[in-house]
């Protein structure tokens, strides 16, 4: 079985994330979307509304990963500079895209298709549009880069239009085992299980809740039989250490 490894990065654009005003949730939504397609999200960057910063981050990421997904900065206001930054990164021109203009001309009443709204039809040369069924103004794809809105509802709708364009990888399977034991009590046993199951990655995530503490152990891998075998080894190890393993899910 040959294995295609498809990788991705996310570039979140926006002062509002860096100031702490807005909690980014788009990255998590994209991560789950990519996971379902078997695409490995390898890196995320967040930069502010600064053209050179956006272009530099984009060029670093697009050279390194199969795909890059950007969010934010494609609206009608003066602080929406993503399209220009992307054109700069790709060293291409940018102008009003006829298809985008046509879509927006239908959406707005005569007299309401203002110059500001026309800005949303400015698309870098060679890009193709990404459909926005929520508020019409399109995203776009240029090379291996997908440029999406920052509003979560719109971003998620755009992902649906992007999905068929992506090369899929082999999906990663995951098994999660929860136990009320402290991480430090099972760390040695866990390291042994990891050493004996090299085709999977085992993560250990302690939790502290009002009703007590514990650890979640997550086994991830592309071979579902190997994941299950390692998960059972983790459960046996937890029992051997005196704990009670609870399988809480077989997703990522």
Q: Which of residues 208-227 bind a second copy (CB under 8 A)?
A: 208, 218, 220
What burial letters (b/e) apply to 17-51, b meaning 16+ CB within 10 Å? beeeeeebebbebbeebbbeebbebeebbbbebeb
Asked if residue 244 binds a second copy (CB under 8 A), the reply is no
Site for a second copy in 66-95 (CB under 8 A): 75-80
* 15 near a second copy, rule: CB under 8 A: yes
In the three-class reduction of DSSP (H, G, I as helix; E, B as strand; rest coil), residue 165 is classed as helix
Write the burial class of residue 219 (CB in 10 Å: 0-12 exposed, 13-18 middle, 19+ buried): buried
> Within 46-65, which residues bind a second copy (CB under 8 A)?
46-49, 53
**Are the CB atoms for 238 and 177 separated by under 8 Å?**
yes
- Determine if 188 is a binding residue for a second copy (CB under 8 A): yes
Contact 26, 152 (CB under 8 A): yes
Q: Rule CB under 8 A: say whether 180 interacts with a second copy.
A: no
Kindly state the smallest distance separating residue 24's Cβ from a second copy, in Å.
7
Of 79 and 99, which has the nearer Cβ to a second copy?
Answer: 79
Instruction: Report the residue from 37, 42, 59, 170 that binds a second copy according to the rule CB under 8 A.
Output: 42
151 binds a second copy (CB under 8 A): yes
Could you say whether residue 174 binds a second copy (CB under 8 A)?
yes
């Amino acid at each position: 079985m040959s294995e295609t490894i498809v990788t991705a990065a996310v570039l979140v654009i926006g002062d509002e994330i860096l100031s702490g005003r807005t909690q980014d949730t788009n990255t998590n939504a994209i991560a789950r979307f990519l996971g379902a397609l078997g695409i490995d999200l390898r890196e995320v960057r967040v930069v502010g509304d600064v053209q050179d910063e956006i272009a530099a981050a984009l060029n670093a990421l697009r050279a390194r990963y199969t795909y890059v997904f950007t969010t934010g900065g494609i609206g009608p206001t003066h602080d929406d500079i993503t399209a220009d930054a992307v054109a700069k990164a790709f060293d291409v021109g940018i102008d009003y895209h006829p298809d985008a203009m046509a879509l927006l001309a239908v959406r707005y009443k005569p007299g309401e298709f203002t110059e500001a709204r026309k800005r949303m039809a400015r698309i870098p040369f060679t890009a193709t549009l990404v459909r926005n069924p929520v508020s019409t103004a399109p995203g776009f794809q240029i090379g291996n880069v997908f440029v999406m809105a920052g509003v979560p509802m719109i971003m998620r709708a755009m992902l649906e239009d992007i999905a068929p364009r992506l090369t899929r990888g082999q999906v990663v399977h995951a098994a999660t085992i929860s136990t009320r034991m402290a991480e430090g009590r099972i760390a040695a046993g866990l390291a042994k299980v990891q050493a004996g199951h090299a085709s999977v990655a085992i993560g250990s995530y302690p939790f502290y809740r009002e009703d007590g503490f514990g650890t979640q152990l997550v086994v991830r891998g592309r071979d579902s039989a190997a994941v299950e075998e390692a998960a059972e080894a983790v459960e046996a190890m937890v029992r051997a250490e005196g704990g009670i393993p609870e399988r809480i899910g077989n997703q990522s």
